[in-house]
Amino acid sequence: MSNSELISPHGSPELKILLLEGKEREEELKRAEGMPKVVMTTRETGDLIMLGIGGFTPLDGFMNEADWKGVCKDMKMANGIFWPIPITLSHDEKVDPGTEICLVSGETEEIMGTMMVQECYQIDKDFECLNVYGTTEDDHPGVKMVKAQKDWNLAGPVKVVSESYFPKDFGELYMRPAESRKIFAEKGWKKVAALQLRNPMHRSHEYLAKIAVEVSDGLFIHQLVGKLKPGDIPADTRVQCINTLVELYFDKNRVVTGGYPLDMRYAGPREGLLHAVFRQNFGCTHMIIGRDHAGVGDYYGPFDAQNIFNELWDGALECRPLPIDWTFYCYKCEGMASMKTCPHGKEDRLFLSGTALRKALSEGGEVPAEFSRPEVLKILREYYGGLKDDEKVEVKMHGHASGDAEKKIKK
C-alpha cells in the first residue's frame, strides 16, 4: 500500500482502511443486524465509504465535538492534524455512548457499516455554516444539507462493510486509494496532479488538464460519482464525455481516470482543501485549483479556493495546489489561454453561458469547436435530445439533472 516514492497519505504513514473483507466482513454484517439502526443521508453514506477505502485517512470514524469544533473554526482536529470540513453523522435521537449502531443507507436501505458510539452531541449549525460555507443562507446547497441534519451528532470509530452500488455501477472507474497508488507506482509517477471534475470536460478543462500533464509525471482525472445539485450533468453522461475526450485527445500513458463516491458540498475554498486532502490519500502531490473551484452561485470569490492554501500553517497539508487562472479560447492567440497568458480583449475570447450552451445543445444550435470537442458535443446533444421538455427547464435532483456546465462563466 505505501510506496516510498509516492506521497504519504494525509497525517499517516499508511492508508487507514476501515473496510472489512471476507470472513471479517460477514461476521460484522451479522453482528450489525442485531444493532439499533441509524439511517444515513447520501452525503453521510459517501463519507462512510471514503472512510472505508482510506480516502479520509487518518480519520477512523465520524467526528466528535472537539474535532467538529476545531475543524469548523481552525481547520484543525483535536490531535493537531489539519482537516477542512466536518465529517459528521446526525441522528434524530440521543444515543448513549457505548452503544454499537448499525449504519444503513437511506437511499438503498442496505447495511453499510457499524459504529461504536463514543459521543453524542448537539451543534450550532449556524456556526458550522458560517465557518465552513461562509454563509447561513438556505439557498446554498451545502448549507441546506447542514440545516437538514438531525438534532444529534453521533461520533465514534466505524467499521465499513459495503461500498454500495459504486463498484458495480461505475466498474473500473470507481477506484480506491490503494488502487490509484498502485497504478501510479507501476507507472513510476511521483509528481501526480489531480483534476476534480463534476461536469463534462470542455476545452477549458482540457487546457487545465494539459497544463498539469506538461508539468507533472501524470494526471489523475478524478470524478465525483456521488450526488450533485439539480442542474448538473448526470454522472453516466459525464463519464461518457470524459472517456471520449481522453481517448481522442490525451496520451493515455499520462492519464488515469477514477471516480469517488462523495456528494458535492459546494463549500468552495474549504472543499478545495478537502479535495487536496483526499487526493493526497489517492497518491497525488498536486491538486489543480481553477476558477471558482467547488463553488456555487456567487458565494465565493473566483480565486478564494486558490488563496486559502496560502493561509494554512506550515506542514498542514503536503499536497500542493496547482492554481490555474480562468481559461478560454482566444481567437487572437489562436489557441487556449488564460487571463495570465492572453493579453487580448474580451471580444477576442470565446465565452458561452450555461444557458446558451444548453439551448444550443437541446435545440440543435451551433456550439463552436473552440468551446468543446465535436465528439463531446455529440454525446451531450444525444443526452439533451432524450430529455423531456419539462426536464430541460428544471430537473429534479436524483443524480440525474440537466446541464449547467458553464454557469460560472456568466457570473
Question: Which residues here bind a second copy, judged by CB under 8 A?
Answer: 210-211, 213-215, 248-252, 254, 322, 324-325, 333-343, 369-370
Closest C-alpha to 383, from 408, 401, 365, 410: 401
194: which strand partners? 220, 287
Which active-site residues does the annotation give?
A: 198-199
Q: Per the structure block, which three cell numbers stand in for 283?
A: 497518491
Q: Which is nearer to a second copy, 132 or 322 (CB)?
A: 322
Backbone angles phi, psi at 261, to 5 degrees: -90, 15
- Name the grid cell of 254: 499520462
Give the closest residue to 185 by CA, choosing from 282, 329, 107. Answer: 282
Q: Which helix (H) or strand (E) holds 201?
A: none
Cell representation of residue 262:
462523495
Nearest Cα residue to 85 out of 270, 304, 305, 269: 270
Least distance between a second copy and beta carbon 222 (Å): 18
- Closer CB to a second copy, 187 or 229, in the complex: 187
CA–CA distance, 57 with 73 (Å, rounded to integer): 21
Q: How far is the CB of 273 from a second copy (least distance, A)?
A: 20
Least distance CB 315 / a second copy (angstroms): 19
Our CA dihedral for 142, 148, 152, 157, rounded to 10 degrees, sits at: -50
| 238 vs 373, beta carbon nearer a second copy | 373
Specify the residue, 159 or 286, whose C-beta has the smaller distance to a second copy: 286
In whole angstroms, give the CA distance from residue 341 to residue 278. 30
Closest distance to a second copy from the beta carbon of 195 (Å): 13
Q: Nearer to a second copy by C-beta: 185 or 333? A: 333
Give the end-to-end CA distance of the chain in Å, rounded to a whole number.
43
Taking the complex as a whole, the smallest distance from the CB of residue 341 to a second copy amounts, in Å, to 5
DSSP E strands in 72-151: the ranges are: 89-91, 100-105, 111-116, 119-121
Closest CB to a second copy among residues 124, 214: 214
Residue 294 φ/ψ region, left for φ over 0, alpha for ψ in the -120 to 50 degree band, beta for the rest? left
Question: Which of 158, 322 has the CB closer to a second copy?
Answer: 322
Contact 342, 333 (CB under 8 A): yes
CB of 348 to a second copy, least distance (A): 12
Nearest-angstrom CA–CA distance, 318 and 389: 48
- Cα angle 317-323-327, degrees, rounded to a multiple of 5: 155
Contact between 257 and 245 (Cβ < 8 Å): no
Provide the pairing of β-strand 152-160 with 335-338: unpaired
